[in-house]
Amino acid sequence: MKSVGIIGGGIIGLSSAYYLNKAGFKVTIIDQGDFQEGCSFGNAGMVVPSHIIPLASPGMIAKGIRWMFNSRSPFYVHPRINGELLRWGWQFYRHSTEDHVRHSIPALKELSLFSKSLYREWSKELPFEFGYQERGLIMLYQRADTEKEEVEAAHVANEAGVEAKVLSPEEVQKLEPDVRVTVKGGVYYPGDAHLTPQILVGRLIEHLKSAGVTFMPRTVIRRFGVSMSRITSLETESASYTFDEVVLATGSWSGTVAAGLGLTLPMQAGKGYSFTLPKVEKNIRIPSILLEGRVAVTPMGESLRFGGTMEITGVDHSINMNRVRGIVETIPKYYPEMKVAMPDKKEVWHGLRPCSPDGLPYIGRIKKWDNVVVATGHAMMGLSLGPGTGKLVSQLITEEHTSIPVASFDPERYA
């Protein structure tokens, strides 16, 4: 039985393990944390085929400059003299073009729809419920300039074959009969879905353990043993582990880890925050994004999760409560009857999203090493693209024809 070592225990690593285990491999997942941390647990839980426009797109530079001087804004880049950040920023700038968007849309659409189809399969074949529901997503806006952008995005989506409906305020309210909504309008994407991420990840770990997958928590890979064109071992301070194949799914740390393999993988950590109200008497029915504040709102049973911000600060686990205050202050502007107090710091979750400079993930084999597959850089879309990426990783390792093309996600595109 061939063995696979997966470095990284987030939803990408877990999804890869799921399909590799089903394919008959002996799978080990190695993570520097305890598998209870990271972006996979506290994110908004959205499965969003609607998100086909990459982060690197026209207008994002101007928005970012405007937002970054406001401590409560949705976006912030911590100014610092850092070569990696400067190179990443230059590549982000270079890719913020219409041509790049046109190139990226088909690739993101295929991966998103593929991943959603697998979530639908998971909801039937996994021996546990994880709150998967296909209720769609509403993009809510209050200003005319935002409306113009979103109506254009809806047009782009419909042209690409992703259904989008522009709604009046009355039509938005009809979709949310239990909560008063104050908006200029919205765009409804009926093909989107959502789930409860902490349940999915927690139960998936239990399921994989029962299926024979080995988990190695709090294990840091310090070095790679190499011979010719193969990785022969993964080495910690005290032990060495050998696998036939290695999967690099280390999220925001991927750039640093990849450098140990001589691979250039531009990556910045985009910090996001969330908090959850446990019992909401009058809850929303459909996940929404409050566009002017870039706040994601997701119903999870009786609970309601709010998440947002993109804070490019490097690998930094501090919590900036001003960013959280920006989320809280946005909520009553859209839901005027919803009284949400500032959460205590200990109730605020944060995660580091792995952001590539062109807004596309890195998925594929690399030429330098015969037995390495890269699967990282999914930014805010990690949960949404998890099963699809995991299935592609399995197909690459088993040398099957991949279900969708992966050329756009080439991990050596910055080599």
Query: pLDDT (tens digit, 0 to 9) for every residue of the chain, 415 residues total?
Result: 999 999 999 999 999 999 999 999 999 999 998 887 666 778 999 999 999 998 888 776 666 666 666 656 667 676 667 788 889 888 988 998 999 999 999 999 999 999 999 999 999 999 999 999 999 999 999 999 999 999 999 999 999 999 999 999 999 999 999 999 999 999 999 999 999 999 999 999 999 999 999 999 999 999 999 999 999 999 998 899 999 999 999 999 999 999 999 999 999 998 999 999 999 989 999 999 999 999 999 999 999 999 998 888 778 788 889 889 999 999 999 999 998 999 999 999 999 999 999 999 999 999 999 999 999 999 999 999 999 999 999 999 999 999 999 999 999 999 8
The predicted pLDDT at position 285 comes to 97
State how far the alpha carbon of 8 is from the alpha carbons of 2, 216, 218, 269, in Å: 19, 10, 11, 15
Cβ burial, residue 79 (10 Å; 0-12/13-18/19+): exposed
pLDDT of residue 71: 58
Residue-level pLDDT at 67: 60
Domain boundaries, the chain: 3-409
Please state the three-class secondary structure of the chain as a single string.
CCEEEEECCCHHHHHHHHHHHHCCCEEEEECCCCCCCCHHHHCCCEECCCCCCCCCCCCHHHHHHHHCCCCCCCEEECCCCCHHHHHHHHHHHHHCCHHHHHHHHHHHHHHHHHHHHHHHHHHHHCCCCCCCECCCEEEEECCHHHHHHHHHHHHHHHHHCCCCEEECHHHHHHHCCCCCCCCCEEEEECCCEECCHHHHHHHHHHHHHHCCCEEECCCCCCEEEEECCEEEEEECCCCEECCCEEEECCHHHHHHHHHCCCCCCCCEEEEEEEEEECCCCCCCCCCEEEHHHCEEEEEECCEEEEEEEEEECCCCCCCCHHHHHHHHHHHHHHCCCCCCCCCCHHHCEEEEEEECCCCCCEEEECCCCCCEEEEECEHHHHHHHHHHHHHHHHHHHHCCCCCCCCHHHCCCCCC
Q: Can you tell me the distance from the alpha carbon of 25 to that of 212, in angstroms, rounded to the nearest whole number?
A: 10
Q: Decide if domain 3-409 falls under CATH 3.50.50.60.
A: yes
The whole-angstrom separation of Cα 373 and Cα 118 is: 21
Strand partners, 141: 185
The burial of 59, by beta-carbon neighbours within 10 Å (0-12 exposed, 13-18 middle, 19 or more buried), is given as: exposed
What lies within 8 Å, CB to CB, of 107 at 6+ separation is 360, 405, 408, 409
Strands 26-30, 240-241: pairing kind: unpaired
Predicted local distance difference test score (pLDDT) of residue 65? 60
- Residues whose CB falls within 8 Å of the CB of residue 23, separated by 6 or more in sequence, listed in order: 394, 397, 398
Q: Are 96 and 61 in contact (CB under 8 A)?
A: yes
Q: What is the pLDDT of residue 82?
A: 79
The pair of structure tokens assigned to 386 is 């998890």
Instruction: Compute CA 377 distance to the chain's CA centroid, rounded to the nearest angstrom.
Output: 8
